[in-house]
């Protein structure tokens, strides 16, 4: 089992205490980078308590929302088959420590449910969902002319990598995670690359990832092999920031958050060394705004009818560009793709923004899974997606072809009203309005 980073720091501090109390005091204060790496090994109670407050726990920049809010009209309650367990959604959320689920169909809220004392006004850490957002911001920078081409090499924007294994790697190869540079993304191993990338001291004011990645060797030819790598999306974030001369948070605010009409400010964690927003993780937003982000993608990345993402990005961003080890799943430009045309932004510990263009469907989920990831947890999340799809498909079928509704359970909890308060663990909002047409502004 991995040796917990916090425990290791404590042992180190105790050993130093006898020799020098001053040094001991210094050693007991982990750097911001060490604190970020320790998140991978937090106990369950801490995950559930602090995933909702990461923007306050770590130095962050605000992505401001604007005065206009994209309304989410309330749709008809969506029912899911309970498969012998009633209610199925309650059991799913309790077993897998899900904090919130929201379903949009044709732009209407068909389902929303909260748990873990989490509510509509709170934000939740998205982990690698931020990768997909960084990718979209790069597509916008390409549209605006800040980036010339996806075939540009990284050193065009980050010359510090000229003498590294990244010297000839292109922007597109980073978008598809096919750089070929050696990397270990094992979240359960505290000696893996992903567990060490923020751990060292700052060097010459460079972002942690620049110092760490510059010394890694090549393992495969560039463009030939897919290998998941969080740090490389941090590099892409630096590309976007240098090309636009804006922080990711500021650029997100001005290109999506304000003009599309997100309801609440988002927060994006900064690297402690150079102040850049970390493109691979660290974005926190409300569940409803994650759903709005999915709706923005479903609408083709358009705002007021105008495309804001470059056509070159749209041609490949949500289609398979690299094959993965997972059956029926590919990888686009930092978006996971399925063979049916759907695609998703996915983060460890259960985060998801899922888009199904054929069904005009968006599913957003935030969670504190008991593990960063596992085959069983991923299968459970896919089961949720499949149940929602089946429920939507059943509504579209001719009346005579629909299965009997006996044995089905209405699992929708309607939007919260002013004065509703979540009290008690796993409580959800369950006010039933009984009619359509209300507007959801959370």
pLDDT of 23 strictly over 90? no
pTM for this structure? 0.84
The pairing of strands 361-367 and 351-356 is antiparallel
- 33-56 core/surface letters (b: 16 or more CB in 10 A; e: else): bbbbbbbbbbeeeebbeebbebbe
Strands (E) across 228-350 are located at 266-269, 283-286, 302-303, 306-307, 322-323, 329-331, 336-338, 343-347
* Mean pLDDT calculated for residue range 232-250: 98
Task: Evaluate if residue 85 carries a pLDDT over 90.
Answer: no
> Can you tell me whether residue 371 is helix, strand or coil?
coil
Q: What is the per-residue pLDDT for 294?
A: 99
Give 87's pLDDT tier (boundaries 50, 70, 90): confident
Q: Give the model's pLDDT for residue 48.
A: 98
Q: Is the pLDDT of residue 16 over 70?
A: no
| CB neighbours of residue 13 within 10 Å | 17
pLDDT tens readout for residues 173-225: 999 999 999 999 999 898 999 989 988 889 999 999 999 999 999 999 999 99
State how far the Cα of 234 lies from the Cα of 174, in Å rounded to an integer: 10
% of the chain surpassing 70 pLDDT: 82
Query: What is the pLDDT confidence band of residue 82, given thresholds at 50, 70 and 90?
Result: low
The model's pLDDT over 58-68, given as tens digits with 9 standing for 90+, comes to 999 999 999 99
Domains located in the chain, CATH noted: 1-30 (no CATH), 33-71+113-392 (3.40.710.10)
Mean pLDDT for the stretch of residues 24-37 = 74
Q: What is the pLDDT of residue 113?
A: 96
pLDDT for residue 172: 97
Task: Check pLDDT > 50 for residue 403.
Answer: no
* pLDDT greater than 60 at residue 25: no
Residue with the bigger pLDDT between 368 and 84: it is 368
pLDDT, one tens digit per residue, over 98-132 is 999 999 999 999 999 999 999 999 999 999 999 99
Length of the chain: 442
Locate 261 and state its tokens: 């009409």
Quickly state the pLDDT bin for 328 (edges 50, 70, 90): low
| CB 363 within 8 Å of CB 288 | no
- Concatenating the DSSP letter of every residue in 252-280 gives HIIIIIHHHT-SS-EEEEBPTTT--B-TT
- In the DSSP assignment, the letter for residue 295 is H
**CB count, 10 Å around CB of 306?**
8
Q: What is the pLDDT of residue 28?
A: 62
Instruction: Report the DSSP beta bridge partners of residue 230.
Output: none
Alpha-carbon gap, residue 235 to 273, rounded angstroms:
14
């Amino acid at each position: 089992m991995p040796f917990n980073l916090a425990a290791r720091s404590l042992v180190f501090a105790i050993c130093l205490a006898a020799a020098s109390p001053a040094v001991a005091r210094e050693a007991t204060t982990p750097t911001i980078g060490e604190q970020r790496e320790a998140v991978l090994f937090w106990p369950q109670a801490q995950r559930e308590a602090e995933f909702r407050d990461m923007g306050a726990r770590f130095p962050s920049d605000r992505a401001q929302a604007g005065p206009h809010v994209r309304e989410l009209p309330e749709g008809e309650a969506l029912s899911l088959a309970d498969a012998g367990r009633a209610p199925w959604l309650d059991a799913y959320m309790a077993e897998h420590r899900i904090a919130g689920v929201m379903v949009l169909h044709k732009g209407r809220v068909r389902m929303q449910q909260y748990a873990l004392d989490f509510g509509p006004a709170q934000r939740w850490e998205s982990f690698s969902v931020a990768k997909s957002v960084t990718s979209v911001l790069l597509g916008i920078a390409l549209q605006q002319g800040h980036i010339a081409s996806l075939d540009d090499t990284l050193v065009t924007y980050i010359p510090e990598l000229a003498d590294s294994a990244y010297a000839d790697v292109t922007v597109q190869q980073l978008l598809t995670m096919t750089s070929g540079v050696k990397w270990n993304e094992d979240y359960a191993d505290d000696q893996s690359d992903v567990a060490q990338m923020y751990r060292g001291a700052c060097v010459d004011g460079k972002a942690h990832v620049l110092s760490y990645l510059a010394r890694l060797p090549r393992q495969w030819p560039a463009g030939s092999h897919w290998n998941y790598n969080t740090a490389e999306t941090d590099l892409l974030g630096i590309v976007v920031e240098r090309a636009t001369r804006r922080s990711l948070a500021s650029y997100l605010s001005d290109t999506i958050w304000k003009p599309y009409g997100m309801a609440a400010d988002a927060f994006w964690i900064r690297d402690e060394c150079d102040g850049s927003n970390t493109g691979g993780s660290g974005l926190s937003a409300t569940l409803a705004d994650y759903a709005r982000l999915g709706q923005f993608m479903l609408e083709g990345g358009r705002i007021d009818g105008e495309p804001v993402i470059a056509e070159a990005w749209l041609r490949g961003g949500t289609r398979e560009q690299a094959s993965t080890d997972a059956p029926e799943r590919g990888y686009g430009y930092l978006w996971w793709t399925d063979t049916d045309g759907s695609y998703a932004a996915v983060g460890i510990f259960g985060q998801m923004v899922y888009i199904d263009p054929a069904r005009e469907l968006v599913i957003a989920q935030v969670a504190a899974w008991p593990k960063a990831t596992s085959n069983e947890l991923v299968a459970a999340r896919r089961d949720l997606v499949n149940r929602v799809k089946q429920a939507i498909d059943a509504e579209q079928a001719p009346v005579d072809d629909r299965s009997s509704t006996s044995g089905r359970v209405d699992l929708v909890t309607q939007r919260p009203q002013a004065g509703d308060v979540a009290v008690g663990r796993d409580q959800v909002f369950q006010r039933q309005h009984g009619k359509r047409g209300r507007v959801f502004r959370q």
